[in-house]
Amino acid sequence: MALKEICKCFQSLYLVLLRRLIKISRRSSTSDGHAKLMNKLYHSSSLEKKVSSSETLLVDVEGVLLRSSSIFPYFMLVALEAGGFIRGFVLLVLYPLLCFLNQEVGLKVMVMVSFCGLREKGFRVGKTVLVKYFMEDVGVEGYEVLKKKKKGWKKRVCVSLMPTLMVEGFLKECLEVEVVVGRELKVFGGFFTGFMEEDDGGFVKRIQREVEMDDNGVLGFATFSNALLHGFFYHCKELCLVSKKEKKNWQPLPRENYPKPIIFHDGRIAFRPTPAATLAMYLWLPFSILLAIFRAIVYLLLPYKIALPIGVFTGMTSRDIASTSITARQFSKNRLYVCNHRTLLDPVYISAGLNRKVTAVTYSLSRISEMLSPIKTVRLTRNRDEDRRRMAKVLSQGDLVVCPEGTTCREPFLLRFSPLFAELTEEVVPVAMSTNVSMFYGTTASGFKCFDSLFFLMNPWPEYQIEYLEKVPTDWAGNKSYNSIEVANHIQREMGKALGFTCTTLTRRSKYLMLADNEGKVKKN
């Protein structure tokens, strides 16, 4: 018994001394070096002297490129967008357990829940959904170091503990990084198993292969914890270490400083799904479905004079703005209204604002959406002569709403306007539309489009702003003749000025090739 007590005492003393030695070694090896290296990196004069044309930068993505140290929201996005609400709920329930697990085990659990059973072919969440949220999480300070390529970086190697297919699109396409090293997922029969490839030093070896060819050495950019945890940072010529306290003061990268603007992105979730925000969504979800159905029934069955106040009472807000020079005559019947496209409800809001029924032209709209529409819709054929005939016929019978972009765009950009509408009548009324949602997007490129309007109405406070601009003649302006293309471009520019949006030459085809890998034809669901 005495021998056991003595052994326990020595064991306790050994553990205490070991902890003390680790703390002392960490302080001595990082505090002075950290201050010195941070000074070299973040002072431009010192940085220019330090960086040579053949130097490689090794970046810890989660540690220094992203402001948030939590990767849970990104796996939640994969679970929700690729797997559905049930899979996302399972991941949320496991979150308390994840808090007690170490980094590696917690990562394996999140990968298992998020990816198990998903089809490998067609997995596009990394490129179509996660890119937006990654870019919003990039810090100015980390990005400033990364973008020094033109001033000296020969190669930039970004290392992430997340699966490669989650971060590769963001790093290579948005930040133009040369090399991305992440974890690889196991696949069986075309489906993800939920397991990652066993490391066995392979993760470190891949990084070493990318940096060992640089004779001038490698500059590592990481956090204290990750630099000590991952052995490959010890092979760097020098290290720039960032503390958590410093990261708290980092600022998000402004949109205007993005290397490439994010014009298209997909997915239903309109917020960053942190554990608290995701919990709030699941608590709201049952009520939101009932509320969306109620709102839809109100607008389908009741006159606008009654439906609008009820909609406001349930949280829906809309603001109609008319130009000061617009007269009542401009709102007379048989008018052609041309609007940018934000959601399927654009024509419905115009109809409610005018307090009369209008007709909207559509292309590839789902049959369910057509049946549930409170206004009349006319399907286009993509045959120019036939479409012109159909639109002219509708216009002779009443008001017509046209969305010349041909598809929706969530971000503050306007796609190219199809000029066909300018050949129908002598003048058109441009209508600038903008929306704001807090929980769900009412559009999708790869999902079930028949639920688009339902998801928009599921938001607690869906907002719409409609601004009626001055009418535009389609045959002349300022005593100068214009063709239909010039008229369409002019109206696009005027809408861009009114909304503060950027005009582009992108089309429906551009959007769907990027987000859904198709031409934009929607299944009749």
pTM: 0.86
Provide CB contacts within 8 A for 311, sequence distance 6+: 295, 298, 299, 318
Identify which has the larger pLDDT, 411 or 244: 411
pLDDT in tens, 371-419: 889 999 999 888 899 999 999 999 999 999 999 999 999 999 999 999 9
What is the percentage of the chain residues whose pLDDT exceeds 90? 58
Checking if the pLDDT of 225 tops 90, the result is: no
pLDDT in tens, 142-164: 998 888 755 567 888 899 989 99
Checking if the pLDDT of 329 tops 70, the result is: no
- Residue 276 CB neighbours (<10 A): 8
What pLDDT is recorded for position 9?
A: 54
Checking if the pLDDT of 228 tops 60, the result is: no
Specify the range with the lowest mean pLDDT, choosing from 20-29, 108-117, 252-261.
20-29
What pLDDT is recorded for position 294?
A: 97
> By the 8 A CB rule, do 91 and 79 touch?
yes
What pLDDT is recorded for position 521?
A: 61
* Confidence class for position 245, pLDDT limits 50, 70, 90: confident
What pLDDT is recorded for position 264?
A: 95
Specify the range with the lowest mean pLDDT, choosing from 295-304, 361-370, 469-478.
469-478
Rounded mean pLDDT of 351-380?
Answer: 88
What pLDDT is recorded for position 212?
A: 65
Identify which has the larger pLDDT, 322 or 13: 322
Checking if the pLDDT of 48 tops 50, the result is: no
What pLDDT is recorded for position 47?
A: 44
Identify which has the larger pLDDT, 5 or 316: 316
* Confidence class for position 243, pLDDT limits 50, 70, 90: confident
Checking if the pLDDT of 65 tops 90, the result is: yes
Domains detected in the chain: 32-257 (3.40.50), 275-515 (3.40.1130)
What pLDDT is recorded for position 363?
A: 81
Rounded mean pLDDT of 232-249?
Answer: 78
**Dihedral sign for Cα atoms in the order 268, 273, 277, 283:** positive
Question: What is the Cα–Cα distance from 19 to 5, expressed in whole angstroms?
Answer: 21
Checking if the pLDDT of 475 tops 80, the result is: no
Q: What is the mean pLDDT of the chain?
A: 84
* Confidence class for position 229, pLDDT limits 50, 70, 90: low
Checking if the pLDDT of 176 tops 50, the result is: yes
Checking if the pLDDT of 227 tops 70, the result is: no
Structure tokens at 354: 């005018």
What pLDDT is recorded for position 24?
A: 45
Structure tokens at 112: 């298992």
What is the percentage of the chain residues whose pLDDT exceeds 70? 79
Checking if the pLDDT of 21 tops 80, the result is: no
Assign 3-class secondary structure to 161-222.
Answer: EEEHHHHHHHHHHHCCCCEEEEECEEEECCEEEEEECCCCCHHHHHHHHHHCCCCCCEEEEE
Query: 131-166 burial, b if ≥16 CB within 10 A, otherwise e?
Result: bbbbbbbbbebbbebbebbeeebbbbbbbbbbbbbb
